[in-house]
Amino acid sequence: MSAESQILRIDLESPVPVYEQLSNGIRRELVAGRLRPGDPLPTVRELALDLGVHHNTVAEAYRLLAREGWLDLRRGRGAVVIARQQPEPSDQARTEFARRLRELAAKAIAQGVPKPEVAREMKTLGSELDEGDHA
C-alpha cells in the first residue's frame, strides 16, 4: 500500500524486537534522505495492518524515533518527519559504534559469511556513505 510499508521488512522470527526492526528501517530511510521533513508517515493503524503487527508495536517505533528528534507526533495528524539537527558524536557513541560494528562482522563470519564478503559489504557501505556526503 504505502511506500514506507513496502520498503520496511520485518522478521517475526528475529530476536530483534519488531518495534526495533521498524524504527531501524524507518531510520535507514530518514538517513538516506528518502524520507524528508514534511513527509507524513502512514498512521499507526495503517502501518500495523500493512505489516500484520499490533498497533502498539508501530506506536512504540514511532515514539522512539520522535524521542530521537526525527518525527513530530500529534493526535489527529499522525507522524510527520521533521528537520533534525545533526548531534555532535560523543566519544562513547564512537566507541559503541566501533564495538557493535566489530561484533556484527564477527557474527556474520561465525554464521559462515566469508571474510572477503564481509569486507566487501563494509567497503560498499562506506562508499555509499561517502557519496551521500557529496550529494
pLDDT tens digit string along 47-81? 999 999 999 999 999 999 999 999 999 877 789 99
- The 10s digit of each residue's pLDDT in 1-16 is 344 445 688 999 999 9
Residue 1: what pLDDT? 36
Q: Which of 29, 32, 36 is nearest to 5 (CA)?
A: 29
Residue 117: what pLDDT? 97
- Which residue type is seen at 94? R
| pTM of the entire predicted model | 0.77
Rounded Cα gap, residues 94 and 96, in angstroms: 5
pLDDT tops 80 at residue 123:
yes
Rounded Cα gap, residues 7 and 22, in angstroms: 10
